[in-house]
Homo-oligomer: A and B are copies of this chain.
Amino acid sequence: MAEFKAALARAGDVAFAEIETGVRMKAQFADTPIADAMLHAVRGGKTLRGFLVLQGAALHGVNEERAKPVAAAIECIHAYSLVHDDLPCMDDDDLRRGQPTVHRKWDEATAVLAGDALQALAFQMITHAQIEADNKVSLIASLADSAGLNGMVGGQALDIAAETAKEPFGLQQIERLQSGKTGALIEWAAGAGPMMVGADDRPMRDYGRALGQAFQIADDILDIEGDEATVGKAVGKDEDAGKATFVSLLGLDGAKRRADELVESACDALSKYGDDAETLKEAARFVVNRTH
């Protein structure tokens, strides 16, 4: 677990430094608060997605230097989605990663714009990676699909629909919601490494898909069992809102069992990489045991 935690921290440093350079280079409108708001949104994240990119890249012979713009890109997309998701018209959250959300620290317009600029920066970052142009294009096309209407945005919209649905969602709908809202980006991050060299990305994507599901189940468990100070954001919101979650549908024990099974499938998907994938396996075990 020590190796995983070190790699995760390293991914955070690498992605943040890359994003900070990218943001600070854009000095045309440095007298507006947008650059600071973008960096505030990125700072202090877990960087699980950036970690997956760097690990997947390493497994395919792409070193950190070449892969880091891609790790930074997925963290930009993730950060933008949180900024917009926290808006009053969405989840209306005041706290994120233990800090005030962007619209609380600045205002709503700044939050909308900082999120928009982070999304643009993400796609630009990928163009900077030291990989072949064809592979950049594949990464951009698949990231746009994973982040857009067919992925994260679609899942977000379904999540909002769930709040006003006549009946709570069933397991199939919750799985579809998760596959979009959190699953698509995690799966993309896992597949990015092989995509950087045009290799077969299916094993890493299978790993990422299982990991993403396990991650969401763990999140639902934390929403019940976690405390706000440790988690760094409001807890108990889903239960209060009467929303279906993996816990409400499978029960607390059932959800934990399902998460354990998913960790096992995630690790199985990595078999072709042997011992080289040990840190990724640690990551899968970690996400179901995390406290925040």
Residue ranges of A at the interface with B (Cβ–Cβ < 8 Å): 23, 26-29, 31-35, 38, 80-81, 84, 87, 89-90, 107-110, 112-113, 115-117, 119-121, 123-124, 126-128, 132-134, 136-137, 140-141, 144-145, 147-151, 153-158, 160-161, 176, 180
Contact = CB atoms under 8 A, between A and B. Distances in A.
Contacts of A180: 28-29
B113 A29 contact: no
* 5 interchain residue pairs of minimum CB distance: A29-B154, A120-B148, A124-B144, A89-B108, A32-B157
A111 to B, nearest CB: 8
Contacts of A140: 123-124, 126-127, 140
A144 B120 contact: yes
A102 to B, nearest CB: 12
B150 A29 contact: yes
7 contacts: A27-B150, A113-B153, A116-B116, A116-B119, A124-B140, A127-B140, A140-B140
B119 A119 contact: yes
Contacts of A110: 157, 160
Nearest to A132: B133
Contacts of A156: 113
A139 to B, nearest CB: 10
A158 B33 CA distance: 9
Contacts of A147: 120
B109 A90 contact: yes
B32 A154 contact: yes
Contacts of A119: 116, 119-120
Given A140-B140, A144-B127, A145-B124, A157 B29 contact: yes
A34 B120 contact: no
Contact of A158 (B32, B87, B132, B134): B32
